[in-house]
Amino acid sequence: MSGDQHASTDQGIVPVKWDFDYRPPGAAVQFEPNAVSGLEGVPSSADYAAIVPVGEQTNTVQPIGNINERFYALCLKDSGVLYEDPNIQIGIKAEWRAHQGRLVLFLGNKNTSPLVSVQALILPPVHLKIELSLVPETIPPRAQVQCPLELMNLHPSRDVAVLEFSYKFGTNMVNVKLRLPAVLNKFLQPISVSAEEFFLQWRSLSGPPLKLQEVVRGVKPLSLTEMTSLFNSFRLTVCPGLDPNPNNLVASTTFYSESTRPMLCLIRIETDPADLTQLRMTVASGDPTLTFELKEFIKEQLVSIPTASRPPAPAPPAAQPTNPAALTDPGALLAGLL
């Protein structure tokens, strides 16, 4: 029986007073050290990893395929195979609505003998409330069982839940720890906003900790088309035409949790056509923890190889323009606001 058969089915503009520091099209962005650091008292990405790799497995039965690649693939889609070995395939299918989710685990016995001593335990992070239905102790030969899982997102976090799963086949006792793809972007809902709506919110979030900016290096070299596709895959809506610089990208989304309720999030990406391995990112929302966590989440998706290097020391905020003409130039206010 193929688990994929069960787990993988579904497959004239009104002028606006700009808040962006406008640069001529094609002009390279001169990235300075970060003018806005992370939240005061919140560890940087160098201090901890939000997604902690599960420890080394010592089983004699080895997995089929790469467990980490399967997890990351499911972070960007809602059905597929979470784990597979010669004896079992664990598929997953998920539905998300606002701050709640429903996952179904598909446990498929691939053999002509039963799998016994089956156990499943969910280790949830503090921001997720999770309830797992009863898991049968035995999975009959060539059979598949479904185990629904209900969850609720309490507040913003990039931490993940872990599934401790074990079974016995013959003399082999197999134990695996699997990260569940109930990640931050699952609680995002794409939303398209008008220029007026965007800039009204952008101006109201005038700086840290609600608006954070960071220069990100070591980025995967992506064209704006590729970056747009990536953003869409984790539920960010790219808003064309809001930034006059064609090298930049602006996006929006709504985040849901029990503590924040629906909350609009705004993102701006400034790229350097001469060096696609670096960019400047600004993230804004009405909740400081959400702003930080979303910024770090997006950075994790953009950086090709995570590093533990120490982040640059914060630089003084950019001075506001004193030239009166600059205040009327389209997009001249962002540097002053940040």
Q: Which of 56-60, 209-213, 318-322 has the lowest mean pLDDT?
A: 318-322
Question: Residue 117 belongs to what H/E stretch?
Answer: strand 116-123
- Count the neighbouring beta carbons within 10 Å of the beta carbon of residue 251: 25
Structural domain including 120 reads 67-182
Q: Is the distance from CB of 18 to CB of 245 less than 8 angstroms?
A: no
255, 212: one domain: yes
Q: pLDDT tens digit string along 16-30?
A: 334 444 444 444 455
Q: pLDDT tens digit string along 226-247?
A: 999 999 999 999 999 888 899 9
57 in a structural domain: no
pLDDT bin (cut points 50, 70, 90) of residue 321 is very low
How far is Cα 266 from Cα 326, in angstroms, rounded to an integer? Answer: 24
What's the CATH number where 96 sits?
A: 2.60.40.1230
304, 173: one domain: no
* 11-16 contacts, C-beta under 8 A, 24 or more apart: 11/79, 13/195, 13/241, 14/195, 14/196, 16/195, 16/196, 16/199
pTM: 0.73
- End-of-domain residue from the set 151, 167, 182: 182
61 in a structural domain: no
55 in a structural domain: no
User: What angle do the packed helices 224-233 and 288-302 form, to 10 degrees?
Assistant: 130
Domains contained in the chain, number: 2
What's the CATH number where 197 sits?
A: 3.30.310.10
How far is Cα 32 from Cα 157, in angstroms, rounded to an integer? Answer: 28
How far is Cα 278 from Cα 335, in angstroms, rounded to an integer? Answer: 19
